[in-house]
Amino acid sequence: MTFLVERRSFLRVPVASNSPDQAGNIVCMKLRNYFKRYPGLPIPMNLVHYRQSTGAYVAAYTCAFHVIIGVVTNQYGIIHDFPNAPIWLTAIYNVFAISVLSTTLLPIFISVTHGGVFCWLFGACYCLLNATITLAHVVRSGCMGLQILLRKVSVWFPTLLGYVYLLVYFCDALYTNRDKFCVNWFKADSASSRVHVHKIVAHVKHLLSCVDSRNRELLHQQQYKKSCCKHAMALFRQLWFPQHGFTYPAGLLWSLTVSVLLQYFLVVQSLNTIYAFTLNKKREITNRFPEIDCPFYENVAIDNARRVHQVFDLHTNDTDTIIQMQYEYIYYWIDVVWICIILATSLAFITNVFNVFRIMFHYQTLSIDIYRNGFKVIPEMAKWLNAFKVTRGTILYPSYQVALMACGYYLQTLLYIVIFVFLSAVVTLNAFTNKDFLVQFLRSWWPGILIMTAFGIIQQLAIRFLFTQHRGRSYGFNNVRSLQLYTFFSSFYNVFFGLISGFGRVLYCPVSSALCISRLDISPLGKPIQFMDTGYVAFLGFLYADVLKNNPTFRTGLWALLSPCHQNGTLNQRNFDAALMSEVEAFNRLLHRTEDKQAAEHLTISRVSPALDIESKSEVHSDNHHGEIDSAEESYGVNTDLHKRRSNRNRWQLAYTLIRNKELIALRNRCEVASHSVPVYSIFDKLGSA
């Protein structure tokens, strides 16, 4: 089981012989060190189906959109019926109403998690009923006018979409298991775990059969250059159907789904509120000056914009004419600002949705890197985290993610509004008035801008072709004396480039922070003060706990140990998870060894010659170790075949050795696939049939 954490090969480490006196071998020592560094138990294999149903759980959280609306708004409040009720009664009523509405989603989650024909059939009927009721609400609102229809559709559309997706999901599950109704009436097919294991086995086969990774990377780059659309489709497929046995945790799916739904609701509510406000202001202007009333498209047209901007060049003493022109100008800018707000809110929503996909992809990448290389991928984990912070991050990260997504949405909306309004003002003032300050600036400063641009281009070319070896492809200097002379004379001019760089840094630092504040997987702070970012520390704790307990190779190895007993009938489904736990609890004795025993074992192992016997020397069990396994099996009522379990464990050890050994990796890169893939494939064929 050493393949869980260590990248080094077993062939490089001495292995003790199989004798009762030598209780610990290198496998047991590595397992003990693993559990000491990363304490915790793996999730039972029956939850693999739970973690694989990504789309179903996202749709289930989408169905909770009306609950989110009730939390944000006063929809479930008591103020409409009892406006004079005290505050404490209103709060209790809100909590009670939200709790009752949340229980209406329990049938969906139970049906997805538990599985079985009964749950799938009940879930399909429940989703069909709710989808019909939601659609009836939308149709009924359509009879009340277009404005009410748009408001209802914007609120009920996510819920309707979630119920329709779940209906298709449950119907597909029923159709897929149509031949197993008698077996899977109250439970899901246990073969889903085997399918999950075989996917990991297929991935390991692919790793062992790869000849040259460089050629594969070059081919991938060529395909990317030829077709960017296919590359985008591949990224999308990897996002929703991840490889390497990775599955998204439920907390991550909950936080990201609720974040997107909350932002969607904020977009709808903010646009409705701002539209009502602008409509009232335009009506006030129209009531005072009826001739100003004009449709939206005529108001923002170029001819009207040119006409209303004549207020800056108006030469008259007529007060009424001046006031009317000013109100026409305000009337025009109300629609311009409304367009800017629509663009800003839409762009902020799209940016945060894109950030959600980036968080999912980055989380998947980090998890797979940690599966392969351990927690050294993120050194901050070892520096900042402890048991308290890991538990704290597991609890707080989903809520932090939802809150910061909302904060990021508002900050990005404000930023985009400022940018769009500024651009609108610059364009309109330079296009329709005599205040063409941008044109005047370019006319006055174009020689300096041209000289600085030319100097920068010439400097870049000189650095690449004159002062760097091999045209910038090698680390070394050419023409060292000329380089020193050029550095002395160009230092004064480069100060201006430094000022431009500093001005750009002042601009893009707040902008980048506003764009990345909704992402907790990265910290906008610098390295020395990143520990002050509580959201980033919470994300690291959440990632640590999830990767610790959900390593797919770990779960696959445990499945390989007990799957033969489960298939031949000696281990039933009821105590299958208990048997998985007993496999881990068998090593509890190793966690509490004294330092003297550890030192003695280390000295004993260092004197043994390095050899690897697959059947006998790879796994060493003492009498006490066998006694703990037997007692654990008796307590759980498990009758396992130790020989098959030991054989499966040794096969996984050998497979991991063949993958991670550096000499064998170099040998596979120099040899052909056919001459080295057959013996490796036979190992996994035995494992797959076990």
pLDDT of the residue at 417: 92
pLDDT average, residue stretch 129-135 = 84
- Final residue of a domain: which of 407, 432, 457? 432
Domain that holds residue 369: 264-432
Among the ranges 95-109, 630-644, 661-675, which has the highest mean pLDDT value?
95-109
Of residues 411 and 382, which shows the higher confidence score?
Answer: 411
pLDDT average, residue stretch 291-303 = 81
Alpha-carbon distance of 457 to 678, in angstroms, equals 57
Phi then psi dihedrals of residue 183, to 5 deg: -80, -40
Residue 36 token pair? 């000491």
- Overall number of domains in the chain: 3
- Whether 323 shows a pLDDT value over 80: the answer reads yes
The verdict on 145 and 186 lying in the same domain is yes
The verdict on 375 and 295 lying in the same domain is yes
In a domain, 522, yes or no: no
Q: Which of 536, 510, 507, 509 is nearest to 523 (CA)?
A: 536
The verdict on 29 and 111 lying in the same domain is no
- Whether 20 shows a pLDDT value over 50: the answer reads no
CB neighbours of 654 closer than 8 A, spacing ≥ 6? 614, 618, 683
The verdict on 181 and 108 lying in the same domain is yes
Q: How many C-alpha atoms does 532 have within 13 Å on its Cβ side?
A: 6
pLDDT of the residue at 198: 55
Compute CA 267 distance to the chain's CA centroid, rounded to the nearest angstrom: 22
Confidence of residue 41 (pLDDT cuts 50, 70, 90): very low
In a domain, 334, yes or no: yes
The verdict on 24 and 79 lying in the same domain is no
Confidence of residue 347 (pLDDT cuts 50, 70, 90): very high
Q: Are 192 and 116 a contacting pair, CB within 8 Å?
A: no
In a domain, 400, yes or no: yes
Alpha-carbon distance of 435 to 430, in angstroms, equals 6
The verdict on 330 and 347 lying in the same domain is yes
- Whether 461 shows a pLDDT value over 80: the answer reads yes
The verdict on 216 and 96 lying in the same domain is yes
Interhelix angle 250-288/387-432, nearest 10 degrees? 30
pLDDT of the residue at 434: 75
In a domain, 335, yes or no: yes
Compute CA 138 distance to the chain's CA centroid, rounded to the nearest angstrom: 33
- Does this model's pTM top 0.85? My answer is no
The verdict on 182 and 329 lying in the same domain is no
The residue behind tokens 């049906």 is 111
Point out the least confidently predicted range of 79-93, 207-221, 451-465, 539-553.
207-221
Compute CA 664 distance to the chain's CA centroid, rounded to the nearest angstrom: 34
In three state form, how does the secondary structure of 105-151 look? CHHHHHHHHHCCHHHHHHHHHHHHHHHHHHHHHHHHHHCCCHHHHHH
Among the ranges 43-52, 366-375, 519-528, 610-619, which has the highest mean pLDDT value?
519-528
- Final residue of a domain: which of 414, 432, 450? 432
The verdict on 65 and 16 lying in the same domain is no
Q: Are 367 and 546 a contacting pair, CB within 8 Å?
A: yes
In a domain, 621, yes or no: yes
Q: Tens digits of per-residue pLDDT, 183-239?
A: 666 666 544 444 555 555 555 555 545 544 444 444 444 444 445 667 677 777 777
The verdict on 28 and 93 lying in the same domain is no
pLDDT average, residue stretch 637-663 = 58
Residue 438 token pair? 């941008």
In a domain, 124, yes or no: yes
Alpha-carbon distance of 680 to 664, in angstroms, equals 12
pLDDT of the residue at 583: 45
Ordered alpha helix ranges (H), 517-575: 534-549, 552-567
> Which own/partner contact pairs does 416-422 have at CB distance under 8 Å and 24+ positions apart?
416/343, 416/344, 416/345, 416/347, 416/348, 417/340, 417/341, 417/344, 419/344, 420/340, 420/343, 420/344, 421/337, 421/340
- Whether 343 shows a pLDDT value over 90: the answer reads yes
| Residue 648 CB-density burial (10 A; 0-12 exposed, 13-18 middle, 19+ buried) | buried
The verdict on 417 and 562 lying in the same domain is no
pLDDT of the residue at 207: 52
The amino acid sitting at 587 is F
- Whether 588 shows a pLDDT value over 80: the answer reads no
Point out the least confidently predicted range of 95-99, 328-332, 420-424, 542-546.
95-99
Residue 269 token pair? 């509510």
Ordered alpha helix ranges (H), 211-318: 213-226, 228-240, 250-288, 296-299, 302-308
Alpha-carbon distance of 145 to 140, in angstroms, equals 10
Q: Share the mean pLDDT of the chain.
A: 69
The verdict on 201 and 134 lying in the same domain is yes
Coil, helix or strand for 477?
strand
Phi then psi dihedrals of residue 104, to 5 deg: -70, -15
In a domain, 327, yes or no: yes
Neighbours of 471 (CB within 10 A): 10
Residue 230 token pair? 């296919």
In a domain, 428, yes or no: yes
pLDDT of the residue at 420: 92
